[in-house]
Amino acid sequence: MEKVKKTKLFWLYFVVSVLTLGLGVVMLPVWQSTSLPFNKIGVEFVNYVIGGLIIAYVASYLIPKCKKHKGSFVQTLLVIEIVLMVVVAIGCILTNLKIINISNPCQILALALWLRGVSEVFCGVFQMKENKEYGVWRVIVAIAVITVSTYIFAKPLFDAIYVQWLVAIALILIAIALVVMGCQAKPKRVKGSK
């Protein structure tokens, strides 16, 4: 485990910790039954987190994979998948637009998995048709992903409140970790200096 570098800006850890802790407490589902002005923030923030995760997945995995298959049918399939994933992510973030009429996080993740599985099946079939190396096991796994994601979409395994609890607790734990890191980053005082 790496040690935190000592810095004069150690106080930033505490500021970010307080903001993260505040967001984590506001996100707790216990506020939903109250008439406080922030009682709906948790549900909205969960959608932002899911949309952000989908965008991160597109940026870190799909775009590099798309660049690897330049000028092929596989690249076309990946571009279509990227566009659809971004539409799903934008639908999560901008819920007022009703781009996708799905509000359950489990169904949104199932939809993203289904898109990945369908794209992988088409890529696999095309590459096997062209006699390129592509494991049959990958197509079988993609079909299994499609099957499981379809089942999860039809009968969600968990509700939005569980995701909200998970995100709220994660934010509170991150805030605690930032306090610890802030304490470790505080430089030692030299005698005689103010």
CA angle 46, 118, 138 (to 5 degrees): 110
What is the span of the domain harbouring residue 93? 11-185
Q: What pLDDT is recorded for position 191? A: 62
Is the pLDDT reported for residue 36 higher than 80?
A: no
Q: What pLDDT is recorded for position 190? A: 57
Q: Does residue 175 belong to any structural domain of this protein?
A: yes
Are the CB atoms for 41 and 32 separated by under 8 Å?
A: no
Q: What pLDDT is recorded for position 97? A: 67
Q: What pLDDT is recorded for position 193? A: 54
The helix (H) or strand (E) run that includes residue 76 is helix 73-93
Are the CB atoms for 26 and 38 separated by under 8 Å?
A: yes
Q: How far apart are CA 90 and CA 55, in angstroms?
A: 9
Summarised one tens digit per residue, pLDDT across range 145-178 is: 999 999 999 988 888 888 888 988 999 999 999 9
Q: Does residue 123 belong to any structural domain of this protein?
A: yes
Q: Does residue 107 belong to any structural domain of this protein?
A: yes
Q: Does residue 6 belong to any structural domain of this protein?
A: no
Confidence at 19, pLDDT banded by 50, 70, 90:
very high
Is the pLDDT reported for residue 192 higher than 70?
A: no
Number of independent structural domains in the chain? 1
Per-residue tokens: 156: 């969600």
Q: Does residue 137 belong to any structural domain of this protein?
A: yes
Q: Does residue 115 belong to any structural domain of this protein?
A: yes
Q: What pLDDT is recorded for position 177? A: 92
Of how many residues is the chain composed?
194
Residue type, 166: L
Q: Residue 24: which of 38, 7, 8, 4 has the closest Cα?
A: 38
Please measure the distance between the N-terminal and C-terminal CA atoms of the chain and give it in whole angstroms: 32
Summarised one tens digit per residue, pLDDT across range 105-140 is: 888 889 999 999 999 998 888 877 777 777 788 889
Is the pLDDT reported for residue 35 higher than 90?
A: no
Confidence at 1, pLDDT banded by 50, 70, 90:
low
Q: Does residue 4 belong to any structural domain of this protein?
A: no
Q: Does residue 1 belong to any structural domain of this protein?
A: no
Is the pLDDT reported for residue 27 higher than 60?
A: yes
Summarised one tens digit per residue, pLDDT across range 45-81 is: 888 888 899 999 999 999 998 888 888 888 899 999 9
Q: Residue 155: which of 117, 115, 112, 110 has the closest Cα?
A: 110
Per-residue tokens: 2: 């790496």
Q: What pLDDT is recorded for position 96? A: 64
Predicted model pTM: 0.75
